[in-house]
Amino acid sequence: MKRKFFTNLILLLTINLLVKPFWLFGIDRTVQNVTGVDDYGLYYSLLALSATLNILLDMGITNYNNRNISRYNQLLPKHLSNILGIKMMLAIVYAVVCFGWGLMVGYDAVQFHILAFLIVNQFLLQLILYLRSNLQALHLFTTDSLVSVLDRVFMILFCGTLLFTDVTNGEFKIEWFVYVQTFSYVLAAIIVLLIVLNKAGKISLRFNLRFTLVFLRKTYPYAILILLMAFYNRFDTVLIERLLPEGEGRRQVGLYAHGFRLLDAVSMFGVLFAGMLLPIFSRMIKMRQNINEMVNFSFSLIVFISLTVSISSFFYSTKIMEWMQYDYVAESSPIFSILMFGFIPITTTYIFGTLLTANGSIRQLNIMAAVGMVLNITLNLLIIPRYQALGAAFVSLLTQAATALAQVLIATKIFHFKPKWDLILRVLAFIAFVVVSALLSKQISTPLLGYVTLLVASVIGAFVVRLIELRKLFNILLNRE
């Protein structure tokens, strides 16, 4: 199982590293710079709202489906027929709630126009994620890896045409960015649907009220969990925009987005881990296999990535903001460095939270997430009016750390994990190695060369302190473990 996980993880990371940087640095960054911090801040606050409420489109279906189909493959045709019908019904509910929020807070015509397309985008995105969960549940990780970047490939092609050719006479509007996303999601959804239908066989789209009520009764705990986590992960941008004066609110959201978009991008590593680990953990738990080695192995890999990214971002925060060609570098860089430290607990959550989800420990996760939401919103209401986006970044880091620690403790209690002191010492040694390497790399006269040197040194350091054991990786690849 470790070999399947590791080899497919390498493929998935490779594909994403080939595509996502083009999206992040070539397209998303350019859109932010071309449209300006105010317009992008407006778009991003609406995106945060639509993303926070998008649990209404899913109601926990994707996670439950991944766990359930990985255990009972034969249910795919029946569930696919009914769940597609449920998705259509949920889309209507989601749209009503989003527009209702807009009316309540007083959105203008421009905001409603953008929100309408973002609603469609979120529906399509959730549809793609649900369809992909079937591929993951069937352990078709190679196919899932290939389709995971389809939407971004289309966006790069279409947005790149608008941004870097003369077809628009040098003009670009934030609305166009949203339209391109809509079209790209449509194309990607059609392709993934055809692949899943090929695996499921003939189905008939239907809406069965009895099936829907029974199914949603099983999935609603997952929905509550995702909603609570969305509030403490993404609602801060909505609060920044609402709690501060209109002009300053949009500006602060734009500054926050400079850092958060990069955090969102690197968090793909955690998402990729979780997408494969959920069906693997589910099947191992069902078969009563020992999961200790799998947990330790996956945690070692992801903590290496998260520590490297977080520490390097702290030491090179100003330079990274300059390389992104953002405005207000002096204000964005401290926000960015604080947010990036949140990557460490976020990736920890993707291991232990996924394990608990696979085990069906949703009640414990919901209690944890509810406490995290209350903590996050309470602190943001107190801190944002005074410290603005910088304060929200601190609150985000604190909330992520608290909830990650809670999940580790819950998993330790349920699975009777014993402290791995050798692993803890290796992590501490790796942190020291990376910090010293960062200080030395800052002495290099060329910042970019210094940053690359730090990344290379971190990889070497992971093997030196045996956080990642080369011999074990070879044994896994040769199917000896």
Between CA 285 and CA 474 the distance in angstroms is 26
Element (H, E) at 20: helix 2-21
Q: What is the mean pLDDT of residues 138-150?
A: 80
CA angle 351, 352, 355 (to 5 degrees): 90
Q: Give dist(CA 350, CA 278) in Å, integer.
A: 10
Could you identify the residue written with the tokens 């909603």?
A: 227
Residue 227 to residue 222: CA distance in whole angstroms: 9
Please check the confidence at residue 470 and state whether its pLDDT lies above 70: no
Q: In angstroms, rounded to a whole number, what is the distance separating the alpha carbons of residues 266 and 320?
A: 14
Question: What is the tens place of the pLDDT at every residue in 421-455?
Answer: 888 999 999 999 999 999 999 999 899 999 999 99
Distance between CA atoms of residues 17 and 40, nearest Å: 25
Using 50, 70 and 90 to split pLDDT, how confident is the model at 480? very low
pLDDT tens column, 208-249: 777 777 777 777 787 788 778 877 777 787 788 788 887 777
Position 479 scores a pLDDT of: 53
pLDDT tops 90 at residue 344: yes
Q: List the single range of 10-19, 91-100, 122-131, 245-254 with lowest mean pLDDT.
A: 10-19
Give the model's pLDDT for residue 212: 78
**Tokens 């995971």, located at residue:** 148
Is the model's pLDDT at 481 over the cut of 60?
Answer: no
Average per-residue pLDDT in the chain?
A: 84
What gap in Å lies between CA 153 and CA 149, rounded to an integer?
Answer: 6
**Helices and strands in the chain: count of H runs, count of E runs:** 20, 0
For 402-427, what is the mean pLDDT? 90
Residue count of the chain: 481
- Residue pair 69/137 in contact by the 8 Å Cβ criterion: yes
Q: How high is the pLDDT of residue 439?
A: 94
Q: What is the pLDDT of residue 397?
A: 93
81: pLDDT strictly greater than 60: yes
Residue 209: exposure state from Cβ atoms within 10 A (0-12, 13-18, ≥19): exposed
pLDDT tier at 289, thresholds 50, 70, 90: confident
Asked if residue 9 has pLDDT above 70, the reply is no
Question: Would the pLDDT of 57 be above 90?
Answer: no
Is-contact 141 284, C-beta < 8 A?
no
CB distance 45 to 241 below 8 Å: yes
One DSSP character per residue, 303-357 reads HHHHHHHHHHHHHTHHHHHHHTT-S-HHHHHHHHHHHHHTHHHHHHHHHHHHHHH
Q: What are phi and psi of 405, to 5 degrees?
A: -60, -40
Distances (CA, A) of 201 to 76, 219, 431: 9, 25, 50
pLDDT value, residue 238: 77
pLDDT at 131 over 80: yes
Structure tokens at 60: 């926990």
CA distance 270 to 353: 11
What is residue 1's three-state secondary structure?
coil
CA distance linking residue 95 with residue 239, whole number of Å:
21
Cα distance between residue 316 and residue 334, in whole Å: 11
Mean pLDDT value across residues 389-396: 91
Q: For position 475, what pLDDT does the model report? A: 58
Given a cut of 70, whether residue 476 has pLDDT beyond it is: no
C-alpha 124: how far from chain center = 16
The pTM for the full model equals 0.73
